[in-house]
Amino acid sequence: MKTVFVISGPSGSGKSTLINMLINDFSDISPTVSHTTRRMRSGEVDGKDYYFVNQERFAEMIQNGQFIEHVKCFGNFYGTSLMTVERSFEKNNLCIMDLNWEGAYNLLHDGNNNNVLSLKSDNLKKIGVLILPPSFKTLRDRLQKRNSETNESFESRLSESFVVEKIAKYDYVLINGNITESYNDLKEIYNIWK
């Protein structure tokens, strides 16, 4: 049995921190590495945080049917390739994906492209977890502290957070007011489904 954890949450929800904690503690979970056309932030590593590619390359990959899902988000493209999922599954039977609400929706509902269909199997479980901040103010404060975005992106990331909870279909919702408590909850979910 293989399991995919699909994790979503607005920028500033604490999603990346929680995912990294889980990956560090449990060697049987492999993260998938997405492709993106957004610029690399300082500290990011190509091939580890993302595969950073230009728009032409991304478009070529779409044409070749290499993505199981892809989206345009905050003006950039993001996508999960079939290759990265297969690589993760070569190592273990558990992988974890960080997807925006739209990508999560497509994957959790199986979408209608062939690569998503190829992930359909009686032997595959897909568990969706949505991480939310305790309040909108907390989100604004966290994003301001993080300060990694341009003003424009900051505002679009804030407004995007309104959309998340309404549309996607998740199995769990974690309200991240306290990182230790949220991590304990995430570990419980992992233990149930691993």
Contact residues for ligand 5GP, defined by CB under 6 A:
11, 34, 38, 69, 71, 73, 78-80, 98-100, 102-103
Nearest CA to 67 among 31, 105, 119, 120? 119
2/38 with CB nearer ligand 5GP: 38
Cβ closest to ligand 5GP, residue 24 vs residue 43: 43
Neighbours of 21 (CB within 10 A): 17
| Chain position whose Cβ is nearest to ligand 5GP | 103
CB of 187 to ligand 5GP, least distance (A): 21
Distance in angstroms (rounded) separating the CA atoms of residues 40 and 52:
7
Shortest separation between residue 69's beta carbon and ligand 5GP, angstroms? 6
* Nearer residue to ligand 5GP within complex by CB, 88 or 100: 100
Contact status, residue 34 vs residue 76, Cβ threshold 8 Å: no
Beta strands in the chain (DSSP E): 2-8, 29-31, 35-36, 51-52, 67-73, 76-81, 94-98, 124-132, 172-175
Q: How far is the CB of 70 from ligand 5GP (least distance, A)?
A: 6
Give the integer Cα–Cα distance in Å for 89 and 91: 5
Least Å from the CB of residue 73 to ligand 5GP: 5
Q: Which is nearer to ligand 5GP, 94 or 168 (CB)?
A: 168
